[in-house]
Chain A
Amino acid sequence: MSDTTTVARSGLRSAFAGRRLGRGPLAATSWLVVALFVVIAAVGPLFVGADPARNTNDTLLGLGAAGHLLGTDDLGRDELARMVHGARPLLLVSFLSTALAALLGISVGMIAGYAGGRVEWVLMRLMDLALAFPSMLLIILIVSAWNPGVASLVVGIGIALAPGLARLARALATREAGRDYVMAAKLGGTRGPRILVQEMLPNMAGPMLAQVVMTLSVAAGFAAGLSYLGLGIQPPTPDWGYMVQAGQEFLYTAPRLVVMPAAATLLFVVACNFVGDDLRDALDPRGSR
């Protein structure tokens, strides 16, 4: 097992060879923003003393109020704590659903591309079928068939985003499967699954990774949208999407209750998108740099 991971890692390293990530202010800022959000979601709650779910009588305090840097909401809960804790559901759902989509999509696509023939036809028509549904509808269907929460969101978004990755994986796998080194591995008695993981996957890793990161920003968009619709994590656990929805009532009296979680969500989605762009540019051998 350990030699397989070494291979994958070195595969990526040579895919990046000679090209740099984070060139230019936009790309560099985007990487920083994504990293910052990850850090906030991971360890931020440890540094915020206030309980984001504790109601107080100090309702709707403004920015900079004593003890409440970002004020409080309509139930007197500390807004800073809610913002910091609220990053968790979004990032958790985004990353996990992207991981699920990658696992599903890359497996299906690679098997289809390697096997060819009838197997390929059936698998790819299944993917077409999933793509024929509007993604949002498909996710809502899956989530509401289950009970709303992180698990159902991850599964719903993961399934909805898998077909796009499967298409790319199939195209790349078809190309690699026709290469002589794959023939040589077959001649050496290597079984199919091992050929896929050990021989082919490292050679597809570059373009695949860029596409997976682009998928991350789409997943973040869906996660935010669904929690706004109340299909995400359930109150009182703070969540940006739900905070936007709850804050709408006070849009004119306390716009920050909507603006802050909305801006944070937007910033994350956009940053993910630019990070994906940057990865794609860095990995594209035809890139101008």
Chain B
Amino acid sequence: MTTPLLEIEKLRVEFSGSAGRRVRAVRDVDLTIYEGETLGLVGESGCGKSTLGRSIIRVTEPTGGAIRYLGHDITRLRGTVFRQTRADLQMVFQDPFGSLNPRRTIGDSIAEPLLRARGATRAEARAAVDDLLDQVGLGREAAGRRPHEFSGGQRQRIGIARALAPSPRFVVADEPVSALDVSIQAQVINLLSDLIRDRGLTMLFISHDLGVVRHIADRIAVMYLGEIIEIASRDDFFAGPAHPYGEALLSSVPALSAAPARERIELTGELPDPADPPPGCTFHTRCRYAVDVCRTEAPALREVADGRQVRCHLPLIPVSALSTASPVKGTS
């Protein structure tokens, strides 16, 4: 887990809203994703986590910054080279109903990336489809059927099979279980865990559900208003977040009875308008520890302990000797 698979540098995504407003959904994000890890990306709705995930694989084109895949800049790749390289990067979508073409059979949908990006013959693709359907637990007889014949959980398995078809190295899973019944969620998460282990997949797992993330992620990145505000290993994060926002997120997870009740921190106020973010630290409007400097000066993402970065003037964990160094990125 030390070779960087994807290095994201100053990635920026802007949308032009109504009346010339520019919404900066992703604001100069630096992020390194290491080979074989599952990085959990968490944050509340509208913080830009889906947009970040989509822009890393260029489903949404970034407006600025660079994406390096295995050391090669893929930010401006085009044409056939781009299509074939990008097939290494796949996605599992949130909505199991919208992500499959209702008019095509399951087999055709799963075979498509093999035929288009991997140059497989029809016979090869058919055999691979059968294998994939077995692997996701649906059985090969599903190949001839259409999406409407399947339940949400089954469709999500089909979506996973399609994402895995071109043998990708990296998969963005964008809230893959949030549209499913709780009883089905665990099955799909377990399937993903198994596939990650068996195939050595690297994954960006986007979710607002910390319980799910805790189960699957090796590292956690917390996003707020288009910026990454904390990166930590899973155990460090759940032991105690370094950012006040992370603390509030964690306190909102309902605890099971045996555990001592945590103090529940309620965030007041709305998520600020991403087209007009507050000055200083973007979180100061809702932060219970905010002091004067937070309102005027934007903190940088800095390393406060080994492999732990936080964007806060007053991190909640003791700052180790490392921290004398100013902003660091991509170290682990």
Interface residues of A, Cβ cutoff 8 Å to B: 3, 7, 10-11, 14, 179-181, 183-191, 194, 198-199, 202-203
Q: Which residue of B93, B102, B108 is within 8 Å of A184 (Cβ)?
A: B93
A188 near B87 (CB under 8 angstroms)? yes
Q: Which residue of A185, A187, A188, A202 is within 8 Å of B103 (Cβ)?
A: A202
Which residues of A sit under 8 angstroms from B98, Cβ to Cβ?
179-181
Docked complex Cα distance between A184 and B86 (Å): 12
Docked complex Cα distance between A14 and B98 (Å): 17
A189 near B87 (CB under 8 angstroms)? yes
A180 near B99 (CB under 8 angstroms)? yes
B86 near A189 (CB under 8 angstroms)? yes
Which residues of A sit under 8 angstroms from B95, Cβ to Cβ?
180
Q: Mark B94-107, 1 if CB is under 8 A from A, else 0.
A: 01001111111000
Of the listed stretches B112-120, B185-193, B198-206, B235-243, chain A binds B112-120
B162 near A188 (CB under 8 angstroms)? yes
Given contacts A179-B98, A203-B101, A203-B102, whether A187 and B108 have CB atoms under 8 Å apart is: no
B112 near A190 (CB under 8 angstroms)? yes
Q: Which residue of B99, B116, B146, B159 is within 8 Å of A189 (Cβ)?
A: B116
30 A-B pairs with CB atoms under 8 Å apart are A7-B103, A10-B103, A14-B102, A14-B103, A14-B146, A14-B148, A180-B93, A180-B99, A181-B98, A183-B59, A183-B93, A184-B91, A184-B109, A184-B162, A184-B163, A185-B101, A187-B86, A187-B91, A187-B163, A188-B116, A189-B84, A189-B86, A190-B112, A190-B113, A190-B116, A194-B116, A198-B104, A199-B104, A202-B103, A202-B104
B165 near A188 (CB under 8 angstroms)? yes
- How near does chain B come to A181, taking the closest CB pair, in angstroms? 4
A188 near B93 (CB under 8 angstroms)? no
Shortest Cβ distance from A186 into B: residue: B59
Docked complex Cα distance between A187 and B166 (Å): 10
Would you list the 8 A-B pairs with minimal beta carbon distance, nearest first? A189-B117, A188-B113, A180-B99, A202-B103, A189-B116, A189-B83, A181-B101, A11-B103
Shortest Cβ distance from B108 into A: residue: A3
In this assembly, does B57 line the interface, its C-beta being within 8 Å of a C-beta of chain A?
yes
Which residues of A sit under 8 angstroms from B146, Cβ to Cβ?
10, 14
- How near does chain A come to B238, taking the closest CB pair, in angstroms? 31
- How near does chain B come to A104, taking the closest CB pair, in angstroms? 24
Which residues of B sit under 8 angstroms from A184, Cβ to Cβ?
91, 93, 99-100, 109, 159, 162-163
Which residues of B sit under 8 angstroms from A181, Cβ to Cβ?
98-102, 109
Docked complex Cα distance between A198 and B98 (Å): 16
Which residues of B sit under 8 angstroms from A189, Cβ to Cβ?
83-84, 86-87, 113, 116-118, 166
Shortest Cβ distance from A190 into B: residue: B116
Docked complex Cα distance between A188 and B104 (Å): 15
Most buried by B among A10, A184, A198: A184
Which residues of A sit under 8 angstroms from B103, Cβ to Cβ?
7, 10-11, 14, 202-203
Shortest Cβ distance from B111 into A: residue: A188
In this assembly, does B225 line the interface, its C-beta being within 8 Å of a C-beta of chain A?
no
Which residues of B sit under 8 angstroms from A14, Cβ to Cβ?
102-103, 146, 148
Given contacts A188-B112, A188-B162, A191-B116, whether A183 and B100 have CB atoms under 8 Å apart is: no
In this assembly, does B90 line the interface, its C-beta being within 8 Å of a C-beta of chain A?
yes
Q: Mark B118-139, 1 if CB is under 8 A from A, else 0.
A: 1000000000000000000000
Which residues of B sit under 8 angstroms from A7, Cβ to Cβ?
103-104, 108
- How near does chain A come to B288, taking the closest CB pair, in angstroms? 38
In this assembly, does B29 line the interface, its C-beta being within 8 Å of a C-beta of chain A?
no
A187 near B116 (CB under 8 angstroms)? no
Docked complex Cα distance between A190 and B166 (Å): 12
Most buried by A among B90, B103, B108: B103
Docked complex Cα distance between A199 and B100 (Å): 10
Q: Mark B273-305, 1 if CB is under 8 A from A, else 0.
A: 000000000000000000000000000000000
Q: Mark B54-89, 1 if CB is under 8 A from A, else 0.
A: 100101000000000000000000000001101101
Q: 8 Å CB contacts to A: which residues of B144-184? A: 146, 148, 159, 162-163, 165-166
Docked complex Cα distance between A190 and B162 (Å): 13
A187 near B90 (CB under 8 angstroms)? yes
- How near does chain A come to B262, taking the closest CB pair, in angstroms? 37
Shortest Cβ distance from B60 into A: residue: A183
- How near does chain B come to A202, taking the closest CB pair, in angstroms? 4
Shortest Cβ distance from B165 into A: residue: A188
Docked complex Cα distance between A194 and B117 (Å): 13
B166 near A188 (CB under 8 angstroms)? yes
Shortest Cβ distance from A189 into B: residue: B117
Which residues of A sit under 8 angstroms from B84, Cβ to Cβ?
189
A187 near B99 (CB under 8 angstroms)? no
- How near does chain A come to B96, taking the closest CB pair, in angstroms? 9
Docked complex Cα distance between A267 and B118 (Å): 55
- How near does chain B come to A228, taking the closest CB pair, in angstroms? 43
- Knowing that A3-B108, A184-B100, A187-B86 touch, tell me 15 more A-B residue pairs with CB under 8 angstroms: A7-B104, A7-B108, A181-B101, A181-B109, A184-B99, A184-B159, A185-B112, A187-B90, A187-B163, A188-B87, A188-B165, A189-B86, A189-B116, A199-B101, A203-B103
- How near does chain A come to B94, taking the closest CB pair, in angstroms? 8
Shortest Cβ distance from B95 into A: residue: A180
Docked complex Cα distance between A80 and B318 (Å): 101
Which residues of A sit under 8 angstroms from B101, Cβ to Cβ?
181, 185, 199, 202-203
